[in-house]
Amino acid sequence: MKIAVVGAGYVGLVTSTCFASLGNSVTCVDIDEKKIAALKKGKMPIYEPGLEELVRQNLKKKNLSFTTNLKTAVHQSDVIFIAVGTPPKPNGEADLSFVENVARTIAREMTSYKLIVEKSTVPVQTGSWIRDTVMRYCKKNVAFDVASNPEFLREGTAVKDFMNPDRVVLGVDSKRAEKLLTELYKPLKATLVFTDIKSAEIIKHASNSFLAMKISFINAISRICELAKADVEQVATGMGLDRRIGRNFLDAGLGFGGFCFPKDLAAFIRISEKLGYDFELLKAVEKINEDQKKYFVKKIEHALWNVNSKTIAILGLAFKPNTDDMRFAPSLDIIADLQAMGAKIRAYDPHASANAKKTLTKVTFCKDAYEACKGSDCVVILTEWDEFKEINLVKVKKLLAQPVVIDGRNIYDPEEMQKLGFRYFSIGRPTKEKR
């Protein structure tokens, strides 16, 4: 099939590359000339395991091309995916001006049938807005359909998630759109869920909000566990074995971040409000998440007694492992709070340091975890990269001025840490402190 994907962000880039590797002819469009010039040479704007190799393979096969010219891409394609950004406005609402611009250009340029598929996370009823916009700006009487195909891929495992989805949600309102999308997704052999466009849009919001709710729930339970001297991991295991609950997304930590959950949650609360429903449950999910970050800073303060003038080694800056994405990363808030209290920060992240440097100031960026630990008063784990799980803790202890570890991701075993002679603090697990 001839496909255009508008937007070369996470979703757009992964979608175009994966559709190309499934044998389609894909044009990926973005207004960012620098990004497109780099992509044409196979250079990635983001770190995402497996993506670079796949882009290069498909560029070579000529299944995939990159351009800034949306008009030509519209002429050349039968199916057009809209995967442009929907950034948050100050009130939490999604800014849909990029989506509208793309819809207008498609309308003005199309001369034959097009299936226009929204893939960006958008508020319910955006499909209707796209349809109205295209009808208004279309010069000739050209047939078209609008569909909604929300994306559920996760950063860090994006290619794998796209190629092996739990389900593909397809909101359509015509047989022609249903047929085209069935054909397009056939090679994945996935469960296709056909529904109406509005329900598809809500499935995306409801799914992300539900996952965020699971995380806030277990984080709240972790607080109770600390108060009751119980172990949140044992609780999560016991709960998760119930198939109605499931163990996934029950890892207590220092709060969720990234460009999806915080933004989508705020947007869904706003959408519900506009529709006439006060989604108090989701407001609590947001609040628990904010509190969790603050509580983690308190934990560091408790471990160090006085934070002022202390040197803190931060391991992990990205909002999760296997990505270099720093957008809404909890590390940003936590480091800002520690700096405000007078701490000196030595930080290391395997892939996100370059992006972190754009935002963080007065931080000493180190070449590896050991360099960050050298002479520091404690180590704080903010992202659960594999290399931190496998770190030489004996060496870390020797390098530190004080053997103190505050682990925001529960990557070490409390008993092991105690045996090694660390004062070890984690989330929702009993701390046996020798004083």
User: Which stretches of the chain bind ligand UGA, using CB under 6 A?
Assistant: 121, 151-155, 208, 211, 215, 249-251, 253, 256-258, 260-261, 264, 319-320
Closest CB 382 distance from ligand UGA, rounded Å? 10
Q: Which pair of structure tokens corresponds to residue 7?
A: 């937007």
CA atoms of 121 and 287, how far apart (whole Å)? 22
Q: Is 260 a catalytic residue?
A: yes
Cβ distance 392 to 368 under 8 Å?
no
Spell out the residues 6+ positions from residue 398 whose beta carbon is closer than 8 angstroms to its own: none
- In the bound state with ligand UGA, the residue whose beta carbon lies nearer, of 82 and 138, is 82
- In the bound state with ligand UGA, the residue whose beta carbon lies nearer, of 211 and 366, is 211
CA atoms of 201 and 218, how far apart (whole Å)? 27
- In the bound state with ligand UGA, the residue whose beta carbon lies nearer, of 66 and 261, is 261
Closest CB 192 distance from ligand UGA, rounded Å? 17
Closest CB 119 distance from ligand UGA, rounded Å? 10
CA atoms of 316 and 407, how far apart (whole Å)? 11
Cβ distance 375 to 401 under 8 Å?
yes
Catalytic residue among 18, 28, 138, 260: 260
Query: Taking the mean position of all CA atoms in its chain, how far away is CA 373?
Result: 28
CA atoms of 33 and 30, how far apart (whole Å)? 7
Closest CB 198 distance from ligand UGA, rounded Å? 18
- In the bound state with ligand UGA, the residue whose beta carbon lies nearer, of 151 and 333, is 151
Cβ distance 326 to 355 under 8 Å?
yes
CA atoms of 8 and 28, how far apart (whole Å)? 7
- In the bound state with ligand UGA, the residue whose beta carbon lies nearer, of 256 and 424, is 256
Closest CB 11 distance from ligand UGA, rounded Å? 6
Closest CB 144 distance from ligand UGA, rounded Å? 26
CA atoms of 164 and 189, how far apart (whole Å)? 9
CA atoms of 248 and 237, how far apart (whole Å)? 10
- In the bound state with ligand UGA, the residue whose beta carbon lies nearer, of 25 and 207, is 207
- In the bound state with ligand UGA, the residue whose beta carbon lies nearer, of 3 and 169, is 169
SS3 category, 79 = strand
* Strand locations in 71-207 (E): 79-82, 114-118, 144-148, 168-171, 192-195
Q: What is the 3-state secondary structure (H, E, C) of 308-374?
A: CCCEEEEECCCCCCCCCCCCCCHHHHHHHHHHHCCCEEEEECCCCHHHHHHHCCCEEECCCHHHHHC
Closest CB 392 distance from ligand UGA, rounded Å? 25
> What residues act catalytically?
260
